Chains A and B, each alone.
Chain A
Amino acid sequence: MAQPRVVIVGAGPAGVRCAEQFVKAGLRPTVIDEGRRDGGQIYRRQPENFKRPYSALYGSEAERAESLHRSFDALHAAVDYRPETLAWNISEGRIHLLSGGRASSLAYDILVLCTGATDRLMPLKGWQFAGTYSLGAAQVALKSQACSVGREVVFLGSGPLLYLVASQYIKAGAKVAAVLDTSSFKQQLSALPKLMARPSLLKKGMSLVAAIRRAGVPLENGVTPLEIIGDPERGVQALSYRQANGEIVNVSCDAVAMGYHLRAETQLADLARCEFAFDQTSRQWLPQTDTDGRSSVPGVYLAGDGVRILGADGAENAGRLAALAALADYGHTVMDAELAALRKQQLAMERFRRGLLQAFPWPAQQAASLPDEAIVCRCECITAGELRRVVCDMGAIEANRAKAFSRVGMGRCQGRYCGHAGAEVIAAAAAIPIAEVGRLRAQAPVKPLPFNLVEDAS
């Protein structure tokens, strides 16, 4: 039997464990990584000449991070690793790549997309001002470059990452002006039973909260963000929000790091023509897979946060499962016990995921209260009012239609940061369920392509 040509996109937890599984089965997968080094986002590696130890970089996750990195280091010779390589399109069984200004393509028999996630953002009036960052950005700045994104940072949003990055900043000596969680204590308490599916993670979360309080940094729940105060010249100057008790507060700052948990990066799955379904729990469209990661397209498998947000541990399992599924589909013998163990672990991850979404919900209702002058699409500078106008005056109640009329989603980021919130604004303005608004259709290139690229002769 001929060896299938295996291509894995992504070298984070899912991609690494996936590659490992294929190598164990005697195959040599190609691993496409847009980053300079493996590790993905959560286990992002610092540049080679940085000296901070794992404990400083990854805290309680130091062991897992190191294990992942060592595993991939050991795999180097056994895989075809392509760092700094963008996969920009998929078509007719080939994946199209750009690396060092050169365009090439690879045929595959098995494609595993482990494309991870980005922060999920809800716009706020003034979020276009210089000094506004995602939570993930604030973390990358610290973890990978030993920098704080500002002299005085406000952390705003919801989700475990809010607490993690804020406490990392405090620990590293940055000035944190406030940590503001839009979810209420009640919401968090209600999710406790589900969160108990992973007791160690729950404990870690609670210790982060304690660390933030111990440092004397104001930490509030149930807040409603109102506005990032600033100007086009100086950028962010303050954050205005309403406390749970109704009082309005302005916190002075020169940076706001914000985010509401994560959104899956699904463009490649879309270009590969995978079917999507609306996931009510997380209120987002996700590519469909079976329990092991088979997509709706034969030969295409999906794993990790790019499919559903299960976190790094869940991603590692998913990477393994997807590889095993692909191997089984290709006629390899796969241990039932191994599959069963991984599937069982994923059940706990899934329960925890639902707990997180319950404890730290995506603040969909903020979309309806966005003032008309708030920018929704940062790339194209389109306001909520302009988006509402195309909904109400031009009948554009579907995401792609609204994009065609308003330009929301037409910018360089292709809707990564405005897509979800844009859909919520449309749903609210049209008074229709969010699922009916649909999703922005992915279009190549997944990220901008330079005109002056050179084509590979082959």
Chain B
Amino acid sequence: MKTEQADVIIVGGGIMGSATAFFLRQRGRSVILLERGLLGQQASGTNFGNVRRQGRFLPQLPLANRSLDIWRRLPQLIGEDVEFLPSGHIRVCYGQERVGLLEEYAQAARAYGLDLELFAGERMRARFPFLGPEVGAASYSPLDGHANPRLAAPAFGRAAARNGAQIFENTEVETITKQGDDFLVSASDGRIFKAPALLVAAGAWADKLCLQFDEPVDLVARGPQMGVTEPVPYGLKTVVGVTSARDEEILYFRQIPRGNIIFGGGGRGPAYPDLRRAYVMPQNTLNQLRQLQRLAPALANLNLIRVWSGIESYMPDDLPVMGPSARVSGLHYAFGFCGHGFQLGPGVGDVMAELIDTGRTTTPIEPFLISRFAKQKSERTRSAQAGLDQILLNVEE
């Protein structure tokens, strides 16, 4: 069988893989993307659709800013509208406990080019009159917004394909080996693909590949708990999210112009990557309905018409894995976005393309390097060893 060759092979067709394929083509690099199912079927297609910068780990903001720039010009860039709406986003808290946190974050974020405005009391009620009486403060990010997750990754993929990327859906990767400078990827249908650069963008299934390349990660797959209401007149134009120390209170919702209100949060549910299934637990749905009425009492009159879940991948430090492999040259990673990757997708694609094409990127991604786990592990081993040495010393004494 003939071997397909390209500059880069991407394993995984979620938004990370699809966007990277698109931007690599922009840079004139040949690309083969291999997706086991259909583009954007997993976390990329089932998430909340938040396009938000506020609330992120501060060092992630440069990446998020770069991504937002792309969201803004997406229709011109990829020739399709994925319904990005710069509606503004508010992060609210109940009571006064976390107002200080919101203020601190707003101050620190300014340095990263994220301008937030805090609302409280009468000002908040006037500006966001739908908020429930328990809400103590709202941090407003006027330029953030939301988009349609079902459309985004497939749209990137189609744009990449129109520009000459080879996108293979329904193609399961069976083995990957490195032979000299090249990666050889074999698919279950017998086809072989070859490239000097490989990007693992396989979401909740990436850990198997990491293990193979001797860079194990502790990946946990979880299912977002999502729901949507019947369509109602369009009046809640800001995306709303709760910050809280209690998981069950962390809800978020957005209304689309058609009228449906999409929501999620309150904790994650079980996901089964081997079965490619994830479930919404009924108790979570009931909790969400209760919490949403606290957040916006006007929702009390509405009907929930559907719930869904998906398979997201989480890292122990709540940060993604992004960047070059620490062990294998030509190998790169972009996965494990811990349920907050959708907004980053276009930016990740752009950065990974830059990295793979030129060997470096202008956007800082040090906190996301896979090498951090090995470092952390060796630190733990060292300190464990030190502890053990101390014990032995004590014994000897």
A and B touching (C-beta < 8 Å)? yes
Q: How many residues of chain B have a CB within 8 Å of chain A?
A: 30
Q: Which of A54-62, A421-429, A450-458 contacts B (4 or more CB under 8 A)?
A: A450-458
**Complex contact A404–B45 (CB within 8 A):** yes
**Complex contact B304–A448 (CB within 8 A):** yes
Contact with A along B270-286 (1 / 0, CB 8 A): 00000000011110011
Closest B residue to A448 by beta carbon equals B303
B213 proximal to A (CB < 8 A): no
Using a CB-CB cutoff of 8 Å, which residues 402-458 of chain A contact chain B? 404-405, 410-412, 414, 443-445, 448-453, 455
A74 proximal to B (CB < 8 A): no
Tell which of A91, A414, A448, A450 touches B279, judged by Cβ atoms closer than 8 Å.
A91
What is the CA–CA distance of A453 and B300 in the complex, to the nearest angstrom?
Answer: 9
**Complex contact A445–B301 (CB within 8 A):** no
What is the CA–CA distance of A412 and B41 in the complex, to the nearest angstrom?
Answer: 23
Residue picked from A105, A398, A443, most chain B C-beta under 10 Å: A443
What is the CA–CA distance of A124 and B150 in the complex, to the nearest angstrom?
Answer: 28
A401 proximal to B (CB < 8 A): yes
What is the CA–CA distance of A120 and B41 in the complex, to the nearest angstrom?
Answer: 29
Tell which of A94, A410, A452 touches B301, judged by Cβ atoms closer than 8 Å.
A452
**Complex contact B286–A452 (CB within 8 A):** no
Contact with B along A87-103 (1 / 0, CB 8 A): 01101001010000001
What is the CA–CA distance of A443 and B306 in the complex, to the nearest angstrom?
Answer: 6
Closest B residue to A449 by beta carbon equals B304
Closest A residue to B40 by beta carbon equals A404
- Within the complex, the shortest CB–CB distance from A276 to chain B, in Å, comes to 14
A328 proximal to B (CB < 8 A): no
A244 proximal to B (CB < 8 A): no
A394 proximal to B (CB < 8 A): yes
**Complex contact A451–B286 (CB within 8 A):** no
Residues of A within 8 A of B169 (CB): 395
Using a CB-CB cutoff of 8 Å, which residues 142-195 of chain B contact chain A? 150-151, 154, 158, 169
Closest B residue to A89 by beta carbon equals B282
Using a CB-CB cutoff of 8 Å, which residues 345-381 of chain A contact chain B? none
Residues of B within 8 A of A412 (CB): 230, 303, 305
Tell which of B41, B281, B300, B305 touches A91, judged by Cβ atoms closer than 8 Å.
B281
Residues of B within 8 A of A443 (CB): 306-308
**Complex contact A444–B307 (CB within 8 A):** yes
Given contacts A404-B45, A405-B150, A443-B306, A452 and B293 within 8 Å (CB-CB): yes
B199 proximal to A (CB < 8 A): no
Residues of A within 8 A of B299 (CB): 451
B124 proximal to A (CB < 8 A): no
Residues of B within 8 A of A89 (CB): 282, 285
Residues of B within 8 A of A449 (CB): 285, 289, 303-304
- Within the complex, the shortest CB–CB distance from A304 to chain B, in Å, comes to 25
Closest A residue to B230 by beta carbon equals A412
Given contacts A96-B282, A405-B150, A455 and B290 within 8 Å (CB-CB): yes
B63 proximal to A (CB < 8 A): no
What is the CA–CA distance of A91 and B309 in the complex, to the nearest angstrom?
Answer: 14
Contact with A along B38-77 (1 / 0, CB 8 A): 1001000100000000000000000000000000000000
Closest B residue to A398 by beta carbon equals B38
- Within the complex, the shortest CB–CB distance from B217 to chain A, in Å, comes to 29
Contact with A along B298-321 (1 / 0, CB 8 A): 011111111110000000000000
Given contacts A394-B158, A443-B308, A455-B290, A105 and B282 within 8 Å (CB-CB): yes
Residue picked from B41, B290, B303, most chain A C-beta under 10 Å: B303
B236 proximal to A (CB < 8 A): no
**Complex contact A401–B38 (CB within 8 A):** yes
Residues of B within 8 A of A394 (CB): 154, 158
Residue picked from A91, A96, A394, A451, most chain B C-beta under 10 Å: A451
What is the CA–CA distance of A395 and B285 in the complex, to the nearest angstrom?
Answer: 33
What is the CA–CA distance of A94 and B281 in the complex, to the nearest angstrom?
Answer: 11
B292 proximal to A (CB < 8 A): yes
Residues of A within 8 A of B281 (CB): 91
What is the CA–CA distance of A449 and B230 in the complex, to the nearest angstrom?
Answer: 10
Residues of A within 8 A of B290 (CB): 455
**Complex contact A445–B304 (CB within 8 A):** yes
Residue picked from A96, A414, A445, A453, most chain B C-beta under 10 Å: A445
**Complex contact A445–B158 (CB within 8 A):** no
Closest B residue to A401 by beta carbon equals B38
What is the CA–CA distance of A453 and B292 in the complex, to the nearest angstrom?
Answer: 12
Residues of B within 8 A of A455 (CB): 286, 290
Residue picked from B169, B279, B293, B308, most chain A C-beta under 10 Å: B279
Residues of B within 8 A of A96 (CB): 282
- Within the complex, the shortest CB–CB distance from A432 to chain B, in Å, comes to 13
Residues of B within 8 A of A94 (CB): 282
- Within the complex, the shortest CB–CB distance from B335 to chain A, in Å, comes to 22
Closest A residue to B287 by beta carbon equals A455
What is the CA–CA distance of A451 and B308 in the complex, to the nearest angstrom?
Answer: 17
- Within the complex, the shortest CB–CB distance from A175 to chain B, in Å, comes to 35
Given contacts A405-B150, A405-B151, A451 and B307 within 8 Å (CB-CB): no
Tell which of B230, B282, B293, B300 touches A448, judged by Cβ atoms closer than 8 Å.
B230
Given contacts A404-B45, A404-B150, A444-B307, A451 and B300 within 8 Å (CB-CB): yes
What is the CA–CA distance of A405 and B150 in the complex, to the nearest angstrom?
Answer: 7
Closest B residue to A94 by beta carbon equals B282
Tell which of A103, A405, A414 touches B286, judged by Cβ atoms closer than 8 Å.
A103
Closest A residue to B279 by beta carbon equals A91
Closest B residue to A95 by beta carbon equals B282
Residues of A within 8 A of B158 (CB): 394
Tell which of A105, A398, A404, A414 touches B305, judged by Cβ atoms closer than 8 Å.
A414
Residues of B within 8 A of A410 (CB): 306
What is the CA–CA distance of A105 and B304 in the complex, to the nearest angstrom?
Answer: 18
Tell which of A398, A401, A414, A450 touches B303, judged by Cβ atoms closer than 8 Å.
A450
Residues of B within 8 A of A453 (CB): 286, 289
Given contacts A405-B150, A451-B292, A451-B293, A444 and B282 within 8 Å (CB-CB): yes
Residues of B within 8 A of A404 (CB): 45, 150
- Within the complex, the shortest CB–CB distance from B69 to chain A, in Å, comes to 26
What is the CA–CA distance of A88 and B304 in the complex, to the nearest angstrom?
Answer: 11
Closest B residue to A92 by beta carbon equals B281
What is the CA–CA distance of A405 and B81 in the complex, to the nearest angstrom?
Answer: 12
- Within the complex, the shortest CB–CB distance from A405 to chain B, in Å, comes to 7
**Complex contact A448–B286 (CB within 8 A):** no
**Complex contact B306–A451 (CB within 8 A):** no
Q: Which 9 A-B pairs give the minimum distances between C-beta atoms?
A: A448-B303, A404-B150, A452-B300, A449-B304, A96-B282, A89-B282, A451-B289, A443-B306, A448-B305
- List residues of B whose CB falls within 8 A of some A CB: 38, 41, 45, 150-151, 154, 158, 169, 229-230, 279-282, 285-286, 289-290, 292-293, 299-308
Besides A394-B158, A405-B154, A451-B289, 4 more A-B contacts (Cβ < 8 Å) are: A444-B282, A449-B285, A451-B302, A451-B304
- 8 A-B pairs (CB sep. < 8 Å): A395-B169, A412-B303, A443-B306, A451-B303, A452-B300, A452-B301, A453-B286, A455-B286
